[in-house]
Chain A
Amino acid sequence: MLNMTTFSSLPRPGWGLCLLALLVTLTTPAAATTVQHWETDNGLQVYFVPSPALPMVDIRLVFNAGSARDGDHPGLARLTNTLLRDGAGDWDADTIAQRLEEVGAQLSTSSERDMAILNLRTLTEPDWLETAVETLVTVVGQPTLTQRGLDRTRRQALVALQAQQQNPGAIARRTFFETVYAGHPYAHPPLGTEAGLAGITPAHLSTFHQTYYVARNGILALVGGLDRDQAEALAERIAAALPEGEPAPALPQVALPEAEQTIRVHFPSEQVHIFMGHPGMIRGDEDYFPLYVGNHRLGGGGFTSRLMDEVRTQRGLAYSVYSHFSPMAAAGPFLMGMQTQVTQADEAVAVMRQTLETFVASGLDEDELKAAQANIVGGFPLRTASNSGILDHVAMMGFYRLPLDYLDTFTDQVEALDPVTVNEAFARRVDPTRLVTVIVGGTD
């Protein structure tokens, strides 16, 4: 969350084609966000929201195949995911890219701790949709995973690891996860480690692919200009490219650290990057709503949060300061973060800590809760105002097996809360005496 952004003048990939707005009225009525759900013959869970206004469709496949499944080879999940589009069936990387780009389709892949994702955005004109989908099913079902592709992609990953080592924020994040999740599959970075990357062979990639890129270990989300029949046919086609397989086993539970811990990493930067937190909650946690809404007041609500007020508005200590819960398959972190000039590090840590302690001890009052509820409920339509917004929510719901009425009942759940419920949950789930604090930067 960055307030008051300055346009970056740095060249970025994709800058080459700066696009102008297209100026066409959309008269089709808004798509309801009622989610249609079914299972394909081989067990792929499908979530579909029709959105007929634009001649485009977003197709997202999510597998339980993130870095938590790396095992002894940190970096394996990410490399597998990246290499999917490097060669598949009879096609090399050039052919795959050309097939997609000549029909204006965009395929992206990504892989974090829980999820491995393939995302295809394409126009719905039948010939192009066909070309794009044929490419997708080949890429996900028959990747070639060659030694040469592996070697090149591994070298790129090593450069990316090096680049992280010149970024104090990236070092802080990595250190935070390594400490909070020591011994857990979440501990290492999704990008991997030098040692992990070094040991990976094409056989590892192909075993990983065969184990985790399977129908019963994934979900498919579809949002766009398709009708139900078209969506079902598309889903069957994609599912048919996947073996049935089985779901990945549950991840180990995460425990709160026994005691508080502070880690300082020296780094020649002007600012220190501070992360403070501990394991938080899983997706679907019964305390999700009180914790989410409470955190909105603490540091999730942008300009109006307490952390923003104490750290930025009152003291000018930082440009960006926030707190959030990241619910995951195993308990994802509760995390507070900021960056400040090296000489102000101690003051900043103290203010952040004090703000949390006060919040845990006294909680929020009726007015603060009302303000948070008003913002969350009033802003809810913005989340599903675009196909990409709907897709994000639906894919998340599907992957974590949240109830189908999750979106429909979200605002009711938020509005039903009272201060006691929120404060009791926060006091029970956030423990300032067990915080892990990571401070990267400065030389003494």
Chain B
Amino acid sequence: MKHQTPWISLLLVLLLLPGGLWATESSPVHEFMLDNGMKVLVLPDRRAPVVASMVWYRVGSGHEHGGITGISHALEHMMFKGTHAHPAGEFSRIIASLGGRENAFTSRDYTAYFQQLAAEHLETALKLEADRMQHLALPEDEFIQEMRVVREERRLRTEDNPNALTFEHFNAVAWLNSPYGIPIIGWMGDIDEYTVADLRDWYDRWYAPNNAILVVVGDVEPEAVHHLASTHFGPIPARDLPVVKSRTETPQRGERRITVRAPAQVPYLLMGYKVPVIMTAEEDWVPYALQVAAGVLNGGQSARFARELVRERELVASASAGYNPLSRLDNLFVLSATPSAGVDRAEVEAALTESLERLKDEPVSAAELERVKAQVVAREVYRRDSIMGQAMGLGMLESVGLSWQLGDEFAERIRAVTPEQVQAVARRYFDVDQRTVAWLDPLPIDPDNPPGYFDGHLR
């Protein structure tokens, strides 16, 4: 076998990369701060004459409260509906005429707007973004139409998608007072009752340069981007930002368990455990150990779920373990599974629980650990194939309150995780009393004779 010491080779290759993987002192990300408090990050990548430009605002559903849930997302839609200088749709027409692609997305901690286009047109994109940071028109007629679109989006993504519906209920039950219980798109009842004034208020509160980050990756000169950013965003005055209260989740007092009954064919299981993230962890190795735990269970076809639950025992058609350490507040470590046909649900649930118990009882093997680490390092190389992916990584770190420099350390932190640490986080966090369990219980789909429960839903 030629790969007896892959880990050593892996390190060598990464050290040979242009710039070097851990040469943070010569990191090619250029950081600038405008006088009004807007941060600008520029990462040159000259493989092609194109650029990805993103404006991130530190606001999302995690800043919302009952009654206006989903308003960050609704405002994101309205950001395409015109300013005083550029009427509805013109932003998109201009970007399209330059061959650009554009869109936006909302999450719990941030709302981000992006364009990908030929590098020579970067200034146009920045000019338009600076305009809609200050002068959003929010016309009533456009608002009425666009909220119809948002309701259709919610129907498409959630109401008619039984797994997504199950996740939404699961997530809402897992968090009692943390804002992470709020669905990003908002509850339908709240969407129905937004007013233009609500949106205006949200915009005035959060869309300020000192709450925004500009990230530019591509065929650009950092100083030139700094100059463009100063010209277009620099004159926008900073504003007092709302105090973000901690809203720390109240301690959980025992397992929570729900059933979601919806027209479906295939049962679906979700199990979530509350865990810290990089922002909240008291010991800084903890999130990385959790990341490795997820990788041991679910990091590829050789990971435990695929090997044991899917192939060996054939209990599940699919299973996954997921953990995102990049958030502002504590998050969920989520296991999910679709049982194989005819397999008892209790058996599936027991098998997932057992997989966590095993993490507590025995240290993960050296081979497993090495595979997880190899994948992390390789994927960091692969990720650099996309300028958009690189811009996403920088913006995400900064907008949850971390520093982009953490990206430089990520592989190293994962590499430092020991089997004992994986065992320690499993023991500390994978506690039955601290978990939330949800089952999708499929209701029969009989198109010609819809069950009574459904009637109110349709109208």
Contacts and interface: CB of A to CB of B under 8 A. Distances in A.
Interface of A: 3-13, 15-31, 51, 53-56, 85, 93-94, 96-106, 121, 123, 125, 127-128, 130-131, 152, 155-156, 158-160, 162-163, 165-168, 265-271, 301-304, 312-320, 339-343, 371, 374-382, 384-388, 441-443
A32 to B, nearest CB: 11
Interface stretch (B97-105, B224-232, B426-434): B97-105
A108 B117 CA distance: 30
B47 A317 contact: no
B167 to A, nearest CB: 5
For the complex of A and B, list the 8 residue pairs with the smallest distance between their C-beta atoms, beginning with the closest: A378-B99, A104-B378, A21-B393, A316-B148, A25-B28, A15-B322, A266-B447, A97-B302
12 contacts: A3-B103, A11-B320, A17-B299, A18-B326, A19-B379, A21-B404, A24-B20, A53-B18, A55-B381, A162-B266, A268-B447, A302-B101
Nearest to A124: B13
B295 A155 contact: no
Contact of A26 (B18, B88, B314, B341): B18
Interface stretch (B205-213, B249-257, B347-355, B405-413): B405-413
B174 to A, nearest CB: 11
Given A4-B103, A24-B18, A271-B160, A16 B264 contact: no
A103 B7 CA distance: 8
Contacts of A167: 160-161
Contacts of A24: 17-21, 27-28, 384
Contacts of A443: 447, 450, 454, 458
Contacts of B281: none
Given A25-B28, A102-B367, A443-B450, A377 B387 contact: no
Given A17-B294, A25-B45, A30-B46, 9 more contacts: A6-B106, A18-B291, A21-B390, A101-B374, A128-B9, A131-B2, A163-B265, A167-B161, A316-B144
A156 B385 CA distance: 33
A255 B274 CA distance: 57
A164 to B, nearest CB: 9
A86 to B, nearest CB: 8
Nearest to B459: A343
A320 B101 CA distance: 16
B163 A18 contact: no
Contact of B47 (A19, A30, A382): A30
Contacts of A162: 265-266, 341
A9 B301 contact: no
A304 B98 CA distance: 13
B6 A155 contact: no
A371 B151 CA distance: 31
A375 to B, nearest CB: 5
B191 interface: no
B99 A382 contact: yes
A342 to B, nearest CB: 6
A314 to B, nearest CB: 7
Interface hub of B48, B159, B291, B372 (most chain A Cβ within 10 A): B48
A389 B111 CA distance: 27
Given A93-B311, A101-B300, A4 B80 contact: yes
Contacts of B391: 21
Given A4-B77, A97-B300, A312-B149, A382 B50 contact: yes
A263 to B, nearest CB: 13
Contacts of B270: 11
Given A26-B45, A271-B156, A379-B117, A125 B13 contact: yes
Interface in B220-273: 263-266, 270
A101 B49 contact: no
Nearest to B374: A104
Interface in B9-35: 9-10, 12-13, 16-21, 27-29
